């Protein structure tokens, strides 16, 4: 059997710095941040009052608003980004190919907005007033389910929930579905809509959030010595993956190729990463081995780079462990400095950032980098985008529960 290669033919993005791939990418290149004070709810009694919210999103631009009322916001974001991705790919799902087109879209938290609002209804108005759509609105697989229904995609239809690693796992798992021959195309990515009082209070009390409330635009500062926590974001990233010959046969534009995928588990702690960085290092090495490349072949690393003390230090350690002396030569940047942390959608929008970096020959910067940290001493592309001849990029994601994932992307 000939090796089945997997390419990216479509992308859709909803992010705090743009509601399309083009706007998202232009903001990254310009070093434009999307972090501000929370407007979704009254956060005056929260320790952290900062978030990276979607701006100007209108679901009626994508689907019938009556249908949208039966979807949690994370599902709305997923279907909107999927519509963008499918339109950009030109892929048509027909009765003839429907069983060969699948969906794999995840969410780290799922419908927490629906949980919160319907629980309030239960307490204030009684069980008879809880929506009959309560469960199908909130379950994490409903992003995949609704996208499958929207396009009539009848191939493998599943989801992944691995906290902040979700988006990368979803793309990597979809890649493997195509490689093993179970589908010719997959709609894959992640979506998240967790900026609400309950989830924000939980993260605050876990001391995970930045509390730089007086300077919200500078709160997300990966690898900077004065970082004090991550900033929650929301949105979705969806990619259309296809078997290469399938894409070529229909004349699709190929944006990049996925050539490797690695995973590992820390087996250490509920929320903290392995303090040796070993889990992350094994994950990155597994991805490079999967791609059949050497560390020196990598042109750019899109870091997980959350702006938390431990993550940034340990990701730096992991990169050094895998790349050796070359770690100091390969550019590393965290686009979370601009978008905030989209949790289960982070890996998906960061994969799109890598694709655009390869296409355009531009590395997006790590903004808000002002005070070097001796524990984080790599080239983080500080503050200003950089032109570069890029051939291969990797994207890292690490999540609560000790989940680690890395994908390897190659210029088309």
In Å, how far are 123, 307, 406 from 319, measured between CA atoms?
49, 16, 12
Per-residue confidence (pLDDT) for residue 341, from 0 to 100: 98
Q: What percent of the chain has pLDDT over 70?
A: 100
In Å, how far are 120, 121, 246 from 130, measured between CA atoms?
9, 6, 46
Three-state secondary structure of 131-142: CCCHHHHHCCCH
DSSP designation for 344: G
Mean pLDDT over residues 144-150, rounded?
98
Mean pLDDT over residues 343-365, rounded?
98
Higher per-residue confidence, 20 vs 2: 20
Class of domain 261-411: alpha beta
DSSP string, 87-115: HHHT----TTTGGGEEEEEE-SS--HHHH
- Whether 271 contacts 36, CB under 8 Å: no
Kindly report each contact of residues 177-182 with a partner whose C-beta sits within 8 Å and lies 24 or more positions away, as own/partner: 177/102, 177/104, 178/4, 178/6, 178/241, 178/242, 178/243, 179/4, 179/6, 180/4, 181/1, 181/4, 182/102, 182/155, 182/156
Per-residue confidence (pLDDT) for residue 286, from 0 to 100: 98
Q: In the structure, what pLDDT confidence band is assigned to residue 271 with cuts at 50, 70 and 90?
A: confident
124: left (phi over 0), alpha (psi -120 to 50) or beta: alpha
Using CA of residue 199, residue 204, residue 209, residue 211, what is the dihedral sign? positive
Tell me the two tokens of residue 38: 């929370």
Which of these, 326, 346, 322, lies nearest to 334 by C-alpha position? 346
Mean pLDDT over residues 38-64, rounded?
97
Q: What percent of the chain has pLDDT over 90?
A: 98
Point out the residues that are catalytic. Answer: 164, 304, 341
Exposure letters 239-258 (e unless 16+ CB within 10 A, then b): bbbbbbebbeeeebeebbbb
Per-residue confidence (pLDDT) for residue 272, from 0 to 100: 86
Which of these, 324, 323, 322, 309, lies nearest to 376 by C-alpha position? 309
Tell me the two tokens of residue 249: 């046969």
Report d(CA 108, CA 111) in Å as an integer: 10
Mean pLDDT over residues 25-36, rounded?
98
In Å, how far are 118, 120, 181 from 125, measured between CA atoms?
10, 8, 51
Query: Who's near 100: CB < 8 A, 6+ residues apart?
Result: 155, 183, 184, 185
Query: Who's near 374: CB < 8 A, 6+ residues apart?
Result: 225
Per-residue confidence (pLDDT) for residue 211, from 0 to 100: 97
279-313 tens-digit pLDDT: 999 999 999 999 999 999 999 999 999 999 999 99
Q: In the structure, what pLDDT confidence band is assigned to residue 3 with cuts at 50, 70 and 90?
A: confident
Query: Who's near 114: CB < 8 A, 6+ residues apart?
Result: 72, 134, 137, 138
Beta bridge partners of 395: 302, 407
DSSP designation for 375: T
Which of these, 22, 9, 1, lies nearest to 258 by C-alpha position? 9
Per-residue confidence (pLDDT) for residue 103, from 0 to 100: 98
* pTM as predicted: 0.97
52-109 tens-digit pLDDT: 999 999 999 999 999 999 999 999 999 999 999 999 999 999 999 999 999 999 999 9
In the chain, what are the helix, strand and coil shares in percent, each to the nearest 5?
A: 40, 20, 40
Averaged pLDDT score across all residues of the chain: 97
Beta sheet of 403-411, edge-to-edge order: 157-158, 101-106, 185-192, 235-243, 6-14, 256-265, 403-411, 392-399, 300-302, 332-333
Q: In the structure, what pLDDT confidence band is assigned to residue 228 with cuts at 50, 70 and 90?
A: very high
Domains of the chain, by residue range, sit at 6-249, 261-411
Statement: residue 46 has pLDDT above 90: yes
Domain 6-249 sits in CATH 3.40.47.10? yes
Tell me the two tokens of residue 123: 């307490």
Mean pLDDT over residues 400-412, rounded?
96
Statement: residue 273 has pLDDT above 90: no
Mean pLDDT over residues 188-214, rounded?
97
Tell me the two tokens of residue 176: 């493997």
Domains 6-249 and 261-411 in one fold: yes
């Amino acid at each position: 059997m000939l090796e089945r290669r997997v390419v990216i033919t479509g992308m859709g993005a909803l992010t705090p710095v743009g509601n399309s791939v083009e706007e998202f990418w232009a903001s990254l290149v310009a070093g434009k941040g999307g972090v501000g004070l929370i407007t979704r709810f009254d956060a005056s009694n929260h320790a952290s009052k900062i978030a990276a919210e979607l701006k100007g999103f209108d679901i009626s631009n994508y689907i019938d608003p009556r249908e949208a009322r039966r979807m949690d916001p994370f599902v709305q974001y997923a279907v909107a980004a999927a519509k963008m991705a499918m339109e950009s790919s030109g892929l048509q799902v027909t009765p003839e190919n429907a069983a060969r087109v699948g969906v794999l879209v995840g969410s780290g938290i799922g419908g927490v907005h629906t949980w919160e609002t319907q629980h309030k209804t239960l307490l204030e108005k009684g069980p008879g007033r809880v929506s009959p759509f309560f469960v199908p609105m909130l379950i994490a697989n409903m992003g995949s389910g609704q996208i499958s229904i929207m396009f009539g995609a009848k191939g493998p239809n599943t989801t992944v929930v691995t906290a902040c690693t979700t988006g990368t796992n979803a793309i990597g798992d979809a890649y493997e579905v195509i490689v093993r021959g179970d589908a010719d195309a997959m709609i894959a990515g992640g979506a998240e809509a967790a900026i609400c009082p309950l989830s924000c209070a939980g993260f605050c009390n876990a001391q995970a959030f930045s509390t730089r409330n007086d300077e919200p635009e500078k709160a997300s500062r990966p690898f900077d010595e004065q970082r004090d926590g991550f900033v929650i974001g929301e949105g979705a990233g969806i990619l259309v993956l296809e078997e290469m010959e399938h894409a070529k046969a229909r004349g699709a534009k190929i944006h990049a190729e996925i050539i490797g995928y690695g995973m590992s588990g820390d087996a250490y702690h509920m929320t903290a990463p392995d303090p040796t960085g070993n889990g992350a290092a094994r994950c990155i090495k597994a991805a490079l081995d999967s791609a059949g490349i050497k560390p020196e072949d990598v042109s750019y690393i899109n870091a997980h780079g959350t702006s938390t003390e431990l993550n940034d230090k340990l990701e730096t350690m992991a990169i050094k462990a895998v790349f050796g002396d070359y770690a100091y030569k390969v550019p590393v940047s965290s686009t979370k400095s601009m978008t905030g942390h989209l949790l289960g959608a982070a890996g998906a929008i960061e994969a799109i950032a890598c694709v655009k970096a390869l296409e355009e020959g531009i590395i997006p910067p790590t903004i808000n980098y002002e005070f070097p940290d001796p524990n984080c001493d790599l080239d983080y592309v500080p503050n200003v985008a950089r032109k570069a001849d890029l051939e291969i990029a990797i994207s890292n994601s690490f999540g609560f529960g000790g989940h680690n994932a890395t994908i390897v992307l190659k210029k088309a």
